[in-house]
Amino acid sequence: MRIQGKVALITGAAEGLGGAFAEELLKKGAKGVGIADVNVSKGKETAGLFLSKYGHQKAIFLQCDVTSEKQLEDAFRKTKEEYGRLDIVCNNAGIGDERKWRLMIDINLAAVVHGTYLARKYMSKQHGGSGGLVVNIASMAGLILGPLSPVYTATKHGVVGFTRSMASFDAAFSKDDIRLNTICPSFSDTSIINKTVAPEFVDGDIMKQVAGTLKLLPVSRVAEGFMRLVEDDDLHDQVMRVTHERGIDFQRFKPNPPMPSKM
């Protein structure tokens, strides 16, 4: 995809991975980016920074609790109204609090499902859109077992499975309409690491010790992988891994069982 003139909506974009993704798109000439985040002060600060660096109307802050169906759809609607189009969606918002496991399921998985369905509604050529790209952010915990984080691990496995299934069997998601991919980074140097809370049955000090042994990926490395997914039109139905050991590569799976290719 040629990024110049394109419009993106990114959840959880006030900081961390989402903020890095947004800035990379603006550096490449994106028309505008919707900064959707529940953190109003940080979200406004980030949007203001992008406006000062990249120009008038290049970013819009959208107060959005992704667990609210109305607020999430409003973010899609307002972004398209502001810029006249929507080309790229990144469902990035996430938390790592095992003691608020229901909320974690709602943010890490249910909101990704809803955001993907909304992308189909607002972007698909079947609904009068121009097609584009959706990138759902999972984690290496979606491919292996996350340390001392059973619900987080379950949500990220869910993101991988949901995204792969939609990319394989939903007619709106194809190279000719909306490309759909997943990124599974190792633990990255973002605030979610410091905010991660262990489940009740795990001593908090043990969780801190485990976190202290992790070698964190720089955010820039994950952003590099994200931009590769954006710019390479051949990448669809892919699960990208970003790790220290292998860098940027792709998870390989057994072929899908025989079924209608698109339903």
pLDDT digits (tens, 9 = 90+) for 190-232: 766 666 777 777 766 665 666 666 688 999 999 999 999 999 9
Cα–Cα distance, 122 to 132 (Å, whole number) = 10
Percent helix, strand, coil in the chain (nearest 5)? 45, 20, 35
Which residue in 54, 83, 122, 152 is the catalytic one? Answer: 152
- Look at residue 112 in the predicted model and tell me its pLDDT: 98
pTM: 0.92
Question: Where do the structural domains in the chain lie, given as residue ranges?
Answer: 7-250
pLDDT at position 146 is 82
CATH homologous superfamily of 7-250 equals NAD(P)-binding Rossmann-like Domain (3.40.50.720)
pLDDT of residue 4: 98
The answer, yes or no, to whether residue 56 has pLDDT greater than 80, is: yes
pLDDT digit string, tens, across residues 64-113:
999 999 999 999 999 999 999 999 999 999 999 999 999 999 999 999 99
Report the run of H or E that residue 82 belongs to, with start and end. Answer: helix 69-83
Spacing of C-alpha 149 from chain mean position: 20
**How high is the pLDDT of residue 75?**
98
Q: 199 CB contacts (<8 Å, ≥6 apart)? A: 98, 99, 101, 148, 149, 150, 151
Instruction: Taking each helix axis as running N to C, give the angle between helix 219-231 and helix 16-27, from 0 to 180 degrees, rounded to the nearest 10.
Output: 50
pLDDT of residue 212: 60
CA atoms within 13 A on the CB side of 31: 15
Tokens encoding 175: 């190279």
Task: Judge whether residue 260 has pLDDT over 70.
Answer: no
Q: pLDDT digit string (tens) for 118-171?
A: 999 999 999 999 999 999 999 999 999 887 899 999 999 999 999 999 999 999
Between residues 92 and 261, which one has the greater pLDDT? 92
3-state secondary structure (DSSP) of residue 132: strand
What band does 47 get if pLDDT is binned at 50, 70 and 90? Answer: very high
Q: Is 54 a catalytic residue?
A: no
